[in-house]
Chains A and B, each alone.
Chain A
Amino acid sequence: KAGVTQTPRYLIKTRGQQVTLSCSPISGHRSVSWYQQTPGQGLQFLFEYFSETQRNKGNFPGRFSGRQFSNSRSEMNVSTLELGDSALYLCASSLTGPGNTEAFFGQGTRLTVV
């Protein structure tokens, strides 16, 4: 079966712009989580969506937002980009939640803010 797909793979944006990242989960998976990965900081949790509802949220500013559609695809938006937002953004899908059932990661979107 198809894995988790993230688009685009690479993005270069200018400070102050906004960006939208997309994540298509494995068919049948209803939970999508987003993580920010930076060198030395590991994977930091942004938020998790389940059946179109945000179920959990990490400690990120309000510039980071997301949503989930009825087909479980999820988007993440970052507004007013800052240099520090440069990172690899990973999404992970699971059947019912990343702690209940195995979480499968996408290959990530590499965001560079200049």
Chain B
Amino acid sequence: GENVEQHPSTLSVQEGDSAVIKCTYSDSASNYFPWYKQELGKRPQLIIDIRSNVGEKKDQRIAVTLNKTAKHFSLHITETQPEDSAVYFCAARGSGYSTLTFGKGTMLLVSP
């Protein structure tokens, strides 16, 4: 089955800095890669996703890049703000499956 590795497990940045979280996946047939944000005590919420026919997608301060050859994808957050502090999960969906396999999460701490 699919295996997703996520790094780093913890990331501390100063407000205004950029943050990058990286994930690798094992199933070369995977074709859908969402990112979820989970604030303390709250439910995970989708913040951005990308499909395998696209190399990059942006939404304001958030962007996701996908390298199918290397089987890795990354989340980029620019101009970080304290409210960006949360746990971020990447996930991958393998072709033919309707399940998502999640990484173990990255705790992002943005200091004012």
- In the complex where A41-B104, A42-B105 touch, is A103 in contact with B46 (Cβ < 8 A)? yes
Interface status of A114 (Cβ within 8 A of chain B): no
Interface status of B62 (Cβ within 8 A of chain A): no
Partner of A107, one of B42, B98, B103: B42
CB–CB A107/B89 < 8 A: no
Interface status of A25 (Cβ within 8 A of chain B): no
CB–CB B104/A106 < 8 A: no
| A43-B89 Cα distance, complex, nearest whole Å | 9
Partner of B46, one of A4, A45, A102: A102
- Specify which chain B residues have a CB less than 8 angstroms from the CB of A99 in the assembled complex: 31-32, 93-94, 97-100
CB–CB A103/B104 < 8 A: no
CB–CB B43/A56 < 8 A: no
Interface of chain B, main secondary structure: loop
CB–CB B44/A90 < 8 A: yes
- Specify which chain A residues have a CB less than 8 angstroms from the CB of B34 in the assembled complex: 102-103
| A6-B54 Cα distance, complex, nearest whole Å | 35
- Specify which chain A residues have a CB less than 8 angstroms from the CB of B104 in the assembled complex: 40-42
- CB A41 to nearest CB in B, in angstroms, measures 6
Interface status of B45 (Cβ within 8 A of chain A): yes
Residues A42-75 near B (CB distance < 8 A): 42-45, 48, 50, 55-56, 58
| A41-B104 Cα distance, complex, nearest whole Å | 5
Some 29 contacts from A to B, beta carbons below 8 A apart, are A31-B98, A33-B100, A35-B102, A40-B9, A41-B104, A42-B102, A42-B103, A42-B105, A43-B44, A43-B89, A43-B102, A45-B99, A45-B102, A55-B98, A56-B97, A90-B43, A97-B98, A98-B98, A99-B93, A99-B94, A99-B98, A99-B99, A100-B98, A102-B34, A102-B46, A102-B49, A103-B46, A104-B46, A105-B43
Other A-B pairs, 12, CB within 8 Å; known A99-B100, A106-B43? A33-B99, A35-B102, A40-B9, A42-B6, A45-B102, A48-B98, A48-B99, A56-B97, A56-B98, A99-B32, A99-B93, A103-B34
Residues of B within 8 A of A (CB): 6, 9, 31-32, 34, 36, 42-46, 49, 89, 93-94, 97-105
